[in-house]
């Protein structure tokens, strides 16, 4: 990991210190995804089978997972894994249920009632990656809030293995969360299928879930098409930023950095600390722990574009973190809650020595589908609200219109919208005539 002193850098160098690995939206990628999307739209299921053979190296006959495949997956899983999936789902549901939006009704003036009602997005598509490693946890993170929101049709796509079947744990997690249908599809073709529909895959209104550069590019393309589908958020490679003081345990800090570095070669991890000695100890510990990881080669590539940064205080560390807006922020300091009020941009925050980021990935109850690549400045992670529409309702009595009608008419006149003004004044005149 590159070692830097924040206060020795000029503004340009500071900007470069917080630069993410170049996001892969090269022209070749864009054109490749466009071709896949167009092929799926034109050829439907035939294209899906061809593209699965080409990119996932598997032959799929029935695109949709069958009842028999769900049963076989459940039978194949170890009891302790099934129990862990169910335990995690229960905690995720408990948090998401309590944090879900609530209907609101307010009388803003006598006789003027304004409400907010909630309606589920009717058809949603969930994408669960299974490239270098299948992610049943993502099925939980997406399936639980979709179910709580009451979405009428929830479909899930996840790539098939070489044997033409989906990962057993992903299927079990989908079943536990109440996903309605699962399809053996991956990559940009899965996104296109859910966005536009095929003979087998229903067209969805909104798409959710992380993925590689092809999946991300496909999501961006279909969300920019009026005939496509909305998406949960823009996203990039996984990342973590750790703020640690001189009393932090370097073994813990290194483990947290590596837990994100092993995601992929384009992941990024950053450590900010006012302690030179802590940075030294963490650098040694990262090297020691990384050597023992099964995914050491992947983590090593990620570490090559990661940073150990010396700051002059924890307050400056918070300022730098807000500028970076990390997907995951870990506060490994003596009094983490003392820093919390100062954090305004982060996907999810982990407080103290006993809160590894891993628990948020799996089973603390929060969601791990989070904005990355700096989008935490303006986006939030997936929640029940992500699967709902919030619709406002207003109802006025005659006295209510008398109370706020003149205000409406004055503002409409100021905007030179005469029809707007008359829609009110005609009614006011009618009420006056009846008095």
Kindly list the catalytic residues.
Answer: 327-328
What is the rounded distance in angstroms from the CA atom of residue 159 to the CA atom of residue 162? 10
Known binding residue 399? Answer is no
200 assigned ligand-binding residue? no
The reply to whether 239 sits in an annotated binding site is no
- Strands lying side by side in the sheet with 2-5: 2-5, 307-310, 268-273, 239-244, 328-332, 348-351
Joined tokens for residue 121: 């997005």
User: Is 127 labelled a binding residue?
Assistant: yes
212 is in an annotated binding site: yes
Q: How far is 173 from 179, CA to CA, in rounded Å?
A: 9
Is 260 annotated as a binding-site member? Answer: yes
Residue 189 annotated as part of some ligand binding site: yes
* 263 labelled ligand-binding: yes
Binding-site positions for Zn(2+): 260, 263, 361, 420
Feature table: binding site: 127, 189, 212, 238, 260, 263, 328, 361, 415, 420
Binding residue positions for substrate: 238, 260, 263, 328, 361, 415, 420
Binding-site positions for NAD(+): 127, 189, 212
């Amino acid at each position: 990991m590159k070692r830097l002193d924040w206060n020795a850098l000029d503004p340009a160098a500071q900007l470069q210190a917080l630069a993410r690995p170049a996001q892969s939206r090269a022209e070749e990628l864009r054109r490749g995804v466009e071709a896949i999307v167009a092929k799926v739209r034109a050829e439907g299921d035939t294209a899906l089978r061809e593209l699965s053979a080409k990119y996932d190296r598997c032959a799929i006959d029935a695109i949709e997972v069958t009842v028999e495949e769900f049963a076989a997956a459940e039978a194949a899983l170890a009891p302790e894994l099934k129990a862990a999936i169910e335990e995690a789902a229960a905690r995720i549901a408990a948090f998401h249920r309590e944090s879900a939006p609530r209907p609101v009704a307010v009388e803003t003036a006598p006789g003027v009632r304004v409400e907010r009602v909630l309606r589920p997005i009717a058809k949603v598509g969930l994408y669960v990656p299974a490239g270098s490693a299948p992610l049943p946890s993502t099925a939980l993170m997406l399936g639980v809030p979709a179910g709580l929101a009451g979405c009428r049709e929830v479909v899930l796509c996840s790539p098939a293995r070489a044997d033409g079947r989906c990962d057993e744990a992903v299927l079990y997690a989908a079943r536990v969360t109440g996903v309605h249908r699962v399809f053996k599809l991956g990559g940009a073709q899965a996104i296109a299928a859910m966005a536009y529909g095929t003979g087998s895959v229903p067209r969805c209104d909104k798409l959710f879930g992380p993925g590689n550069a092809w999946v991300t590019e496909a999501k961006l393309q279909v969300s920019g098409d009026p005939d496509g589908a909305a998406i949960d958020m823009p996203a990039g490679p996984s990342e973590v930023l750790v703020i640690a003081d001189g009393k932090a345990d370097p073994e813990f800090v290194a483990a947290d950095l590596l837990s994100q570095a092993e995601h992929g070669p384009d992941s990024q991890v950053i450590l900010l600390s006012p302690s030179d000695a802590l940075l030294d100890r963490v650098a040694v510990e990262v090297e020691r722990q990384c050597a023992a990881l099964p995914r050491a080669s992947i983590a090593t590539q990620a570490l090559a574009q990661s940073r150990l940064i010396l700051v002059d205080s924890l307050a400056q560390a918070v300022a730098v973190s807000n500028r970076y807006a990390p997907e995951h922020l870990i506060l490994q300091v003596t009094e983490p809650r003392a820093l919390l009020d100062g954090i305004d941009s982060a996907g999810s925050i982990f407080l103290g020595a006993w809160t590894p980021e891993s628990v948020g990935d799996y089973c603390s109850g929060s969601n791990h589908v989070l904005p990355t690549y700096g989008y935490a400045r303006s986006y939030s992670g997936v929640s029940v609200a992500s699967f709902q529409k919030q619709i406002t309702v207003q109802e006025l009595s005659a006295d209510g219109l008398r109370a706020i009608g003149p205000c409406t008419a004055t503002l409409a006149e100021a905007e030179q919208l005469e029809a707007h003004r008359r829609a009110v004044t005609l009614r006011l005149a009618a009420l006056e005539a009846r008095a």
